[in-house]
Amino acid sequence: MAAVWQKCSVLCRSLPATAAAKAFSRSAAPCSLQVRDFHSGAGRCYSQQLATVGASSKYGGRYTVTMIPGDGIGPELMGHVKDIFRYAGVPVDFEEVQITSQEGDEEAIENAITAIKRNGVALKGGLKTLHLDPSFGVSRNVAVRVRLDLFANVLRCKTFPGLPSRHGDIDIVIIRENTEGEYTSLEHENVPGVVESYKIITARNSNRIARYAFEYAQRHGRKKVTAVHKANIMKMGDGLFLECCRKMSEEFPDIQYESMIIDNCSMQMVSRPQQFDVMVMPNLYGNIISNIGAGLVGGPGLVPGENIGEQYAVFETATRNTGKSIAGQNVANPTAMLLASALMLEHLGLDKYAGLIENAVYKALAENKIRTPDLGGQHSTVDMVQTIVKEVEAQADKM
């Protein structure tokens, strides 16, 4: 597996790539540090192990990936992903699993989780949580993440070439702890009218995410990691998280480490976002900063995100919106989902195809200037997809 991945990286480096795609390339030199893995004392560095996690379901040269279309704009975007994969000749087959907020049974979620475990990798749309319905259980998105222990949510907010933005050049990687914190759904009402909600922070998960963040920074040549917290108020909880990050920073002396309080961080994000490089934080702050970051570079339709665990990986849009209000109208921006599918291809080691799709997407935005309504334009989803397909077909012939 590692050998195949290595070969693809070499191939990728020798292919001509547009400047835009080069800037966005995720392939980096494998980390040379002989660092112990998280639990035992041997092996490659942790995030490198995770970089190809789940890429196991390969048969006859083709990968099988679980696809969960979800609600809202999910189904139509997944349809476009499949089309573009077909035109590009990507050796990936999708196993579709339908869970929507309409189906109330636990069995559907179990099937979805089993399918992801079987294939190891998934592409997912947003699942709406009916928070007004008391019989609706825990958020299904959270259930997927926690059950599969997808502890790291990684998204890269980088200014898109050719897209106007208020803030100039931003390139921030947000690494968010994805399984605990405020998202434990542990609540009770002991006395009527008084609700207690528990936020859980553990040393194990804090260490895990901190290690992931620093190794990510090292692997990708990033210079600084900022830990975001509110330890002045939540002295024990966020204090523990901060302490884990600080201790981890001592193992990576070549990476600059700083910490920042969440409210100051939000203020800095809107006034001077260029100061940030890699950011690591617990769950809720990650939710806030991810949305701020995505908003800064152009909105929910653009940024892809990945959820990485020790055994599985699930790819989706960064801000995880279901887009219910624009579903079925052919106005959704397919960029985020397409870039998420490209991230998935890189994860599987299919760097060539990933680059093909990414280049086509950036070209459609920067050169062809396709603008769906969320970017202030009048183009439809299909306009964007057709432009991408044309480019993919043209480039695929050269491969």
Partner 1 sequence: MAAGVIRSLSQGLRRIAPFGSRLYSDEARTVTLIPGDGIGPEISAAVQEIFAAASAPIKWETSDVTAIKGPGGKYIIPPEAQESMNRNKIGLKGPLKTPVGKGHPSMNLLLRKTFQLYANVRPCKSIEGYKTPYTDVDLVTIRENTEGEYSGIEHMIVDGVVQSIKLITEPASRKVAEFAFDFARAQGRDTVTAVHKANIMRMSDGLFLRCCREVAEEYKDIKFEEMYLDTVCLNMVQDPTQFDVLVMPNLYGDILSDLCAGLIGGLGVTPSGNIGADGVAIFESVHGTAPDIAGKDLANPTALLLSAVMMLRHLGLHDHARRIETAAFETIKEGKALTGDLGGKAKCSDFTREVSQKVQEIE
Residues that bind partner 1 (CB under 8 A): 129, 131, 139, 142, 166-167, 182-183, 185, 187-189, 192-204, 230, 233-237, 239-240, 262-264, 266-271, 284, 287-288, 290-292, 294-296, 299-300, 319, 321
Give 225's strand partners: 257, 278
Residue 324 makes CB contacts below 8 A (sequence gap 6+) with 71, 72, 128
The one-letter amino acid at 259: S
Residue 308 near residue 177 (C-beta atoms within 8 A): no
Separation CA 360–CA 239 (nearest Å): 45
Residue (1 or 198) nearer to partner 1, CB = 198
Q: Residue 365's closest CA among 274, 280, 303, 283?
A: 303
Residue 154 has phi, psi (to 5 degrees) of -115, 130
Residue 266 near residue 288 (C-beta atoms within 8 A): yes
Give 280's strand partners: 175, 227
Q: Residue 164's closest CA among 289, 299, 293, 292?
A: 299
Residue 301 near residue 374 (C-beta atoms within 8 A): yes
The first and second tokens of residue 20, run together, are 């835009």
**Torsion over CA: 236, 237, 241, 242 (sign):** negative
The first and second tokens of residue 228, run together, are 């975001």
Give 229's strand partners: 261
Separation CA 182–CA 319 (nearest Å): 17
Local structure of residue 296 (DSSP, 8 states):
H
Q: Residue 153's closest CA among 255, 29, 287, 54?
A: 287
Pairing of strands 187-191, 92-96: unpaired
Residue 196 makes CB contacts below 8 A (sequence gap 6+) with 187, 188, 189, 190
Q: Residue 352's closest CA among 122, 80, 3, 21?
A: 21
| 95 HSE (CA, 13 A, CB side) | 18
Separation CA 216–CA 280 (nearest Å): 11
Residue (61 or 134) nearer to partner 1, CB = 134
